[in-house]
Amino acid sequence: MTAGATRRSLLAGVAGLAGLPAQVMARDSTAAGLAALAARRGVDYGAAVEPENLARDSSFADLINRECVSVTPENHLKWNILRPTPDHFDFGGADAVVAFAKARQLAVHGHCLVWHEANPAWLAAGLTRQNAEALLNHHIGKVVGRYAGHVGSWDVVNEPVERNDRRPDGLRRSLWLSSLGPDYIPLAFEAAHRADPAARLVLSDYGLEYDDEPWMVEKRGSLLALLADWKRAGVPIHALGIQGHLIGSRPPAFGTGLQNFLRDVGRLGLDIHVTELDVNDQQVAGGQDHRDRIVADCYRAFLRAVLTSSRLRVVTTWGLSDRYSSKQDMFPRPDGAPVRPLPFDRELSRKAAWHAMADAFSVR
Ligand code: 9MR
């Protein structure tokens, strides 16, 4: 976290406790925003944002400012947007998010430096065993270097584990793996660390959340073994990111399996970040209030489970309001009703999900 974020976190914590007049606390114990509530548990709360929405929607921008201590550019640091051609970097969108954050003393989390998706066509076409290491180093050096002191943490490698790819180590067969082998991961972390030694470096993945899903339980095992190897080898990796794309239509099975996994990750000396929390309500049946309650219960159960880890440092939701959620295009509801995966509705009012998050942050 940057110094700015720390200051904001402290302020948020104070506002959430002693800073509020007693009559306000009595009238509405949830007058504080999510960041203030999360700060009581030592957690920085933030949301993924798109710069276009911050620029054209001042009510939404104000909501981000009130509820969050950090923002994550949802798409503008991905290779396909940042690097339309091999020689041209387009930093416009990412710069806008960083400027927004700086003006409000918010931290910025960078997403993401290495991913098998969202890459420009020229990368897959031109990547070879000969040029891959130099390309990776150049990209990470340039991007992390540009934002050193402004982007306090990075998803360095995103989604590197895929059991279906049937490698004994569990690593995903991707363009980077085929050109550099498993070393692409340590190389990426080392490059990021060189470019900004103060940045917190995260490896983020999905499919780690549910205790009743065998492939997820297996994936935890693969990842734990990989993380242990990298830590032993001195790779500068500081946190595991659990994305937290939850599914409203399945039971919230976030029990001892998840808690023990987080404990084991913590014992490796790694922090835990929840990097992309939301609840997919595509298959949740019933009226809107009922669906909102199911979504809320899912948030509550997941946050309670991850909060058992003393190493949980960050919770980021993948958006803040249903007004802007990639779930709408990716997982539209079959009945045509708009999706409602986030803590605020399209009118920017708190939903049951917001109150469930507040609850989870308050209970010890
Ligand atoms: O929300 C993002 C969407 O707008 C993009 O089109 C998509 C491809 O770049 O990526 C989405 O975010 C993904 C994130 O980067 C990685 N984890 C899965 C997210 C989608 O749920």
The predicted-structure confidence for 252-309, as pLDDT tens digits, reads as follows 999 999 999 999 999 999 999 999 999 999 999 999 999 999 999 999 999 999 999 9
Counting the structural domains of the chain, the total is 1
Q: What is the CA radius of gyration of the chain?
A: 20
Cα(74) to centroid of ligand 1, in Å? 7
Question: What is the C-alpha separation between 321 and 47, in angstroms, rounded?
Answer: 10
Decide: pTM greater than 0.85: yes
**276 has catalytic annotation:** yes
Of 327, 361, 331, 343, nearest to 292 by C-alpha is: 343
- Active-site residue, from 67, 74, 209, 276: 276
Task: Return d(Cα 245, Cα 271) in angstroms, integer.
Answer: 19
Give 112-124 pLDDT, tens digit per residue.
999 999 999 999 9
Taking the CA atoms of 330, 334, 336 and 340 in sequence, report the sign of the dihedral they define.
negative
Best residue for ligand 1 mutational test, from 83, 329, 330, 331 (most atoms within 8 Å of Cβ): 330
Q: Which of 67, 74, 159, 209 is catalytic?
A: 159
Q: Which domain holds residue 33?
A: 3-362
52 is catalytic: no
What is the best residue among 76, 112, 205, 276 to mutate for testing ligand 1's pocket, by most ligand atoms within 8 Å of CB? 276
CATH number assigned to the domain comprising residue 322:
3.20.20.80
Whole-number Å distance between alpha carbons of 222 and 232:
16
As a whole number, the mean pLDDT across the chain is 93
User: Among 101, 139, 102, which residue's Cα sits nearest to residue 120?
Assistant: 139
